[in-house]
Structure 1
Amino acid sequence: MSSCPLSYALNFPSGPKFQSSCLYVVGGLYGNVFALKEILAMADTESADVVFNGDIHWFDAEANSFCQIEREIAKRGLTAINGNVEFELASGQNGCGCFYPSCTDAGTINRSNLIHSRLNHLVNDECKQFIEIFKKRAKCELVSVGGANVAITHGDEKFLAGWGCSRENLSQKARQDELNLWFKKHKFDVLACTHTCAPAAIALENGVVINNGAAGMSNFASELYGLITRIAITPSKEAIYRAKHGEIYIEALPVRYDTAKFLEWFDQIWQAQSPAEVSYRGRIANGSEGEIKEAIVGGFWQIYAK
């Protein structure tokens, strides 16, 4: 299922890093400073704990934005783990470390490598202080929410950049059985992940997998908000969809950042025909492909948006 190297293998902690009654898991911020501002305001409103589970950076290929995001995380003392973007920046490689599935076209892979190469040059030229920070960040984390164990990583339960929690893989019975056994063995209740850039959610007998897709980009057709995962002891009226497991609620929350300002900022960094403009600008401006219901792979979920 994954061609990730052993350096990407995960070993979850034996105990939770902290206890929480309301947790935000922010995957795929992708350098969107406007989404960050909205997420932190949302968290402040309900005193939520925040964990960034990788690919915090991507479009922020200029020093002010890159540093602004890291300073905000440090100032608030927020937990951040590495995604493949940060893991590869720490290693000094020019490849993005996405380990795309074999069906991915060569153009997409090449553009991702070019984007990461530009980030790598930025970090080495202007933001070198963050290399050591990325080297020290964990690849996975464990948090207790209302007594439930929430495993958090970027990819899947095996590898930092694994694709085992994509919609396609989660829809397979063998994969569902594998995850059910994993939840039972480790006494985990939720696996919160991202990486695939497309949200996916499945409620199994022994646990729930929720992949938020992207916090800093649109995820559905004609919908221009990002998504984060919220796990809490009480439900949110803002949820796009929700499942309940035991006494906790697992939800996808919209991040309604200012798209116009984000596009203006994006266009200053990534001009026409640049790799990020070709790969992502249409999605940022117009929405992604697919409907909200397509993110629900299995189990009982309530959908609150059309």
Structure 2
Amino acid sequence: MNYRYGPDAIGAALERQAEILYVIGGLYGNLQALATVEAMARAESGPVTLCFNGDFNWFNVDDAGFRTINEHVLQHDAIVGNVEAEFGAAADVAGCGCAYPESVDQAVVERSNRIHAQLKRTAVRHPDLMERLGALPMVARYRVGTARVGVVHGDAESLAGWRFDVTRLDDADDDAWRADAFTRAKVDIFASTHTCLPVMRRFKHDGEKLVANNGAAGMPNARESRFGILTRIGAAASPHASLYGHFLHGVHVDAIAVRYDDPAWQRSFLENWPEGSPAWLSYFDRIANGPDFRLENADNIGEP
């Protein structure tokens, strides 16, 4: 219940102005991806607001990696994901707070809880960062041009919600819920992550609306790919090639590849999570080969 905020909280959040907004969800402790995102922002022609919308920690269980990721992220805008939110749970409570759907194998759930337990042991050695992470909000709100943007980790209701997952966004039974969420949140665009697979869908709810879920900035998002994805929202077109995107309310909303140094990232991952470890069992095939997902399924509805 403490993960729930609801669309009214998004509608009441302080609105910040941004010329170009990068929404970077699911960095997962990937230092190489972080460096790439920062370099991409420097290549833009105008000022860029970076918003890390949760789960920027995960594989970074080494003290140096934990500190570097969080010190960099906390220089920018950020909201908590379930990974960061669970740092504040009691020491004897084991769980990543992922709220996986029932289709996820129980072995995956158990390994995620073990990963988080190890990360949490690292986090408590950095009380200054824990204090700052504990003060982060669960939602953020922006105005980019004339477009109103609500940034969440999960969905419009909950930090760990799955209704912005690729499957649920194609479910007509959720049309009324989405329409109500856009209205009450007072936004034209929802930017999310959490579900670990990318999707962008356009809807007609009192005008043009859009949900942009970047999947993961710090891991591959499609089979045989070696890059993460961030969501870029800006009045001007991106200098970086768009994987797919839409133009609405006077702004470009694009999925942009985060082409990090993959060999360096794999070496870094294996130093913390060698073969046979929980993270290796759950994630190394995805890191090396990408998930069983085709990128064309991320955006198959509406005009580009």
- TM (norm. structure 1) is 0.92
Corresponding residue for residue 103 of structure 2: 103
Task: Quote the Cα distance in structure 2 between the aligned partners of 1:160 and 1:258.
Answer: 30
Contact 2:150–2:185 (8 Å) recurs in 1 = no
Query: 2:285 and 2:250 mapped to 1: Cα distance?
Result: 40
Q: Give the gaps of 5 or more residues in structure 1.
A: 302-306
Q: Deviations over 1:9-61 (max 9, x none)?
A: 34225254421111000000000000000001101111311000000100001
AA at the equivalent of 2:78: A
Q: Number of paired residues? A: 294
CA-CA distance at 1:117 after TM superposition: 0.4
**What is the 5 A alignment of 1:1-306?**
5-10=1-6, 11-12=9-10, 14=12, 16-46=14-44, 47-74=47-74, 77-92=75-90, 93-124=93-124, 126-206=125-205, 207-236=209-238, 237-296=240-299, 298-301=301-304
CA contact (8 A) 1:202 1:299 kept: yes
* Greater shift in the superposed pair: 45-54 or 11-20: 11-20
CA distance in 2, matches of 1:129, 1:117: 19
Q: Is the 8 A contact 2:66 2:122 kept in 1?
A: no
Counterpart amino acid of residue 288 in structure 1: P
1:94–1:120 CA contact under 8 A, matched in 2: no
1:72-109 CA deviation, whole Å, 9 max, x = no partner? 233xx301100000000122442000000011110110
Q: Quick one: which amino acid aligns to residue 230 of structure 1?
A: R
Unaligned runs of 5+ in 2: none
8 Å contact kept, 1:90–1:134: no
Shift of 1:245: 1.3
Between the aligned partners of 1:108 and 1:6, the Cα distance in structure 2 is 24
For residues 160 and 168 of structure 1, do their structure 2 counterparts lie closer, same or farther at Cα, with a shift above 3 Å needed? Answer: same
Instruction: Answer yes or no: is the 8 Å Cα contact 1:191–1:210 preserved in 2.
Output: yes
Aligned counterparts of 2:180 and 2:73: Cα–Cα separation in 1:
35
Q: Which moved more, 1:157-166 or 1:183-192?
A: 183-192
Q: TM-score, normalised by structure 2?
A: 0.93
Q: 1:231–1:249: 8 Å Cα contact kept in structure 2?
A: yes
Aligned residues of 1:13 and 1:141 also touching (Cα < 8 A): no
Cα distance in 2 between the residues matched to 1:176 and 1:7: 23
Alpha-carbon separation, structure 2, partners of 1:249 and 1:127: 39
C-alpha RMSD of matched pairs (Å): 1.4
